[in-house]
A = this chain, B = another copy of it.
């Protein structure tokens, strides 16, 4: 942190107390604050959220915080890309002003944060009914970590508007439910997934991919598009669509075998209101989503059909 060059127009806070003073003045000036929570390694997806916030609000704040509570002990907390200087430079390049809070783990989790969930102490937020399926099958404590840290940040930032990307669609459903039911005084905005020119969903984890893996990384989006195409032209029977998408991933897996390991985690067609799997014809729109390992990198993507969150 000491060698950080703060580019012009960018304000960086490391202390929650200092950030709050800045925020309070905005309130007393009767101006509004838009908020974009991030784990850093900013890409065009994040910048699109900041752009949206800029349009609607007088001020925009980001948080950059790699949240330990949402990583399982076997996951990539240690290697998750931390690129603070590049993040600040990217913000300065695209925006005239932005405020960034970069808090320490010890300030965010005053009771500490053990990697082992059973040893954790302190308050945690769980969104029951929406956290155990889909991503939650492979990552059972992920949304607990997300809901907890987003709650903390909403209490700290107290924004009028908050921005999330549709790329993490289950996160959107979980946080939307949490904001509504916990009565957070904030309006939630869900912005479209930003994609590379070939269609790959932007993700900080894309930087893990080797050139060959990058080529095959499109397999999940192709599978989702196949389901969409069939849904629009052939059949609305969810299990048939999932089977076709699974077959496409399996075929790609076999083709790639020599140069790149591909492993399907799940393909799902779920109800947007319950996140339960659609087991028959899709009636009131759906969330098509999936997760695939390309090499050791776990990629997720989704399409929402005939429905808005």
Q: Hey, which bits of chain A sit against chain B, CB under 8 A?
A: 16, 20, 27-28, 30, 108-111, 120-130, 147, 151-152, 155-156, 158, 177-178, 180-185
> By the criterion CB–CB under 8 Å, are B151 and A110 in contact?
no
User: Which residue of the partner chain, among B27, B124, B152, B184, contacts A155 with CB atoms under 8 Å?
Assistant: B184
Residue from A20, A28, A127, A182 having most chain B Cβ neighbours under 10 A: A182
Chain B residue numbers with a CB within 8 Å of A121 are: 128-130
Query: How far apart sit A254 and B208, CA to CA, in the bound complex (Å)?
Result: 72
Interface of A is mostly: mixed
Question: Would you call B185 and A110 a contact (CB within 8 A)?
Answer: no
Inter-chain CA distance A130–B181, complex, in Å, is 24
Q: How far is the CA of A151 from the CA of B182 in the complex (A)?
A: 7
Ranked nearest first, the 7 interchain pairs of A and B with the lowest CB-CB distance are A121-B129, A123-B178, A155-B183, A122-B181, A123-B127, A156-B183, A152-B183
Whether B111 and A181, one on each chain, are in contact in the complex, defined by CB atoms closer than 8 angstroms, is: yes
Closest to A23 in B: B185
Q: Chain B residues near A156: list those with CB within 8 A.
A: 183, 185
| Beta-carbon nearest neighbor of A28 in chain B | B30
A126 proximity list for chain B (CB < 8 A): 123-124, 126
Cα(A109)–Cα(B158), bound, Å: 22
- Roughly how many angstroms separate A176 CA and B124 CA in the complex, as a whole number? 14
Please state if B123 and A181 are interface contacts (CB–CB under 8 Å). Answer: yes
